[in-house]
Amino acid sequence: MLGRQRPSERGSTEILATFGNGLFVSTNAGNTFTSAALPSGPSGAWDRLAVDHAHSQPDIAYAFGAVGNVPYLWSRNGGTWKKITSLPTIDPNNPLDWTGLVRLVRKSDSKYS
Protein backbone atom coordinates (compact mmCIF):
# COMPACT_ATOMS: atom_id res chain seq x y z
CA MET A 1 0.00 0.00 0.00
CA LEU A 2 1.18 3.47 -0.85
CA GLY A 3 -0.61 6.32 0.79
CA ARG A 4 -0.48 10.04 1.34
CA GLN A 5 -2.25 12.25 3.85
CA ARG A 6 -3.33 15.84 3.61
CA PRO A 7 -5.03 18.08 6.15
CA SER A 8 -8.45 19.23 5.01
CA GLU A 9 -10.04 22.60 5.53
CA ARG A 10 -12.23 21.11 8.29
CA GLY A 11 -9.31 19.88 10.36
CA SER A 12 -9.70 16.21 9.44
CA THR A 13 -7.17 14.30 7.35
CA GLU A 14 -7.70 12.66 3.99
CA ILE A 15 -5.67 9.52 3.36
CA LEU A 16 -5.28 8.28 -0.21
CA ALA A 17 -4.02 4.70 -0.56
CA THR A 18 -3.38 2.38 -3.50
CA PHE A 19 -3.64 -1.37 -3.73
CA GLY A 20 -3.49 -3.78 -6.68
CA ASN A 21 -7.22 -3.34 -7.19
CA GLY A 22 -7.33 0.46 -7.19
CA LEU A 23 -7.33 3.75 -5.32
CA PHE A 24 -9.03 4.18 -1.94
CA VAL A 25 -9.74 7.18 0.29
CA SER A 26 -10.29 7.58 4.03
CA THR A 27 -11.58 10.70 5.73
CA ASN A 28 -11.65 9.24 9.25
CA ALA A 29 -7.96 8.69 10.06
CA GLY A 30 -7.87 5.34 8.24
CA ASN A 31 -10.69 3.63 10.18
CA THR A 32 -12.52 2.91 6.91
CA PHE A 33 -11.65 3.28 3.22
CA THR A 34 -13.89 3.63 0.18
CA SER A 35 -13.02 3.04 -3.44
CA ALA A 36 -12.24 6.15 -5.50
CA ALA A 37 -13.17 5.84 -9.17
CA LEU A 38 -10.44 6.61 -11.70
CA PRO A 39 -12.06 7.26 -15.10
CA SER A 40 -10.90 5.25 -18.12
CA GLY A 41 -8.59 2.95 -16.21
CA PRO A 42 -7.61 -0.60 -17.20
CA SER A 43 -10.02 -3.48 -16.73
CA GLY A 44 -7.50 -5.73 -14.96
CA ALA A 45 -5.15 -5.45 -12.01
CA TRP A 46 -2.44 -2.81 -11.85
CA ASP A 47 1.23 -3.66 -12.27
CA ARG A 48 1.97 -0.42 -10.47
CA LEU A 49 -0.21 2.25 -8.85
CA ALA A 50 0.79 5.20 -6.67
CA VAL A 51 -0.83 8.38 -5.38
CA ASP A 52 0.48 11.68 -4.05
CA HIS A 53 -0.81 15.05 -2.90
CA ALA A 54 0.88 18.16 -4.29
CA HIS A 55 2.96 19.56 -1.44
CA SER A 56 2.33 23.17 -2.40
CA GLN A 57 -1.46 22.73 -2.79
CA PRO A 58 -2.92 19.87 -0.71
CA ASP A 59 -6.24 19.83 -2.60
CA ILE A 60 -4.35 18.73 -5.73
CA ALA A 61 -3.51 15.03 -5.98
CA TYR A 62 -2.13 12.76 -8.67
CA ALA A 63 -2.59 9.04 -9.27
CA PHE A 64 -0.01 7.24 -11.42
CA GLY A 65 -0.53 3.73 -12.73
CA ALA A 66 0.81 1.24 -15.23
CA VAL A 67 -0.36 -1.99 -16.78
CA GLY A 68 2.43 -3.54 -18.82
CA ASN A 69 4.16 -0.64 -20.56
CA VAL A 70 1.02 1.52 -20.72
CA PRO A 71 1.03 4.41 -18.22
CA TYR A 72 -2.04 6.06 -16.74
CA LEU A 73 -2.15 9.41 -15.00
CA TRP A 74 -4.94 11.33 -13.28
CA SER A 75 -5.15 14.62 -11.44
CA ARG A 76 -7.68 15.89 -8.95
CA ASN A 77 -8.10 19.48 -7.81
CA GLY A 78 -10.31 19.04 -4.73
CA GLY A 79 -13.02 17.06 -6.50
CA THR A 80 -13.29 14.75 -9.50
CA TRP A 81 -10.37 12.73 -10.86
CA LYS A 82 -9.51 13.65 -14.48
CA LYS A 83 -7.47 11.44 -16.79
CA ILE A 84 -4.39 13.03 -18.33
CA THR A 85 -3.62 11.76 -21.83
CA SER A 86 -0.60 11.86 -24.18
CA LEU A 87 1.86 10.09 -21.91
CA PRO A 88 5.04 8.34 -23.03
CA THR A 89 5.31 4.55 -22.99
CA ILE A 90 7.13 3.35 -19.88
CA ASP A 91 8.62 0.17 -18.49
CA PRO A 92 6.87 -0.35 -15.12
CA ASN A 93 9.80 -2.49 -13.95
CA ASN A 94 12.35 0.24 -14.70
CA PRO A 95 12.49 2.78 -11.85
CA LEU A 96 14.10 5.35 -14.15
CA ASP A 97 11.09 5.32 -16.47
CA TRP A 98 8.72 5.66 -13.51
CA THR A 99 10.77 8.49 -12.00
CA GLY A 100 10.75 10.28 -15.35
CA LEU A 101 6.96 10.16 -15.44
CA VAL A 102 6.77 11.65 -11.94
CA ARG A 103 9.20 14.41 -12.93
CA LEU A 104 7.13 15.16 -16.03
CA VAL A 105 4.09 15.77 -13.83
CA ARG A 106 5.88 17.80 -11.19
CA LYS A 107 7.35 20.12 -13.84
CA SER A 108 3.87 20.65 -15.25
CA ASP A 109 1.93 20.99 -11.97
CA SER A 110 -0.05 24.00 -13.18
CA LYS A 111 -0.79 22.43 -16.57
CA TYR A 112 -2.65 19.46 -15.07
CA SER A 113 -4.43 21.03 -12.12
pLDDT tens digits for 32-57? 999 998 988 887 788 888 888 877 77
Query: From the CB of residue 43, how many other CB atoms can be counted at a distance below 10 Å?
Result: 5
Q: Under 8 Å CB-to-CB from 6, ≥6 apart: which residues?
A: 13, 14, 53, 58, 59, 61
Residue 81 has pLDDT above 80, yes or no: yes
Residue 18 has pLDDT above 70, yes or no: yes
pTM higher than 0.75 for the full model? no
Q: Under 8 Å CB-to-CB from 109, ≥6 apart: which residues?
A: 54, 56, 60
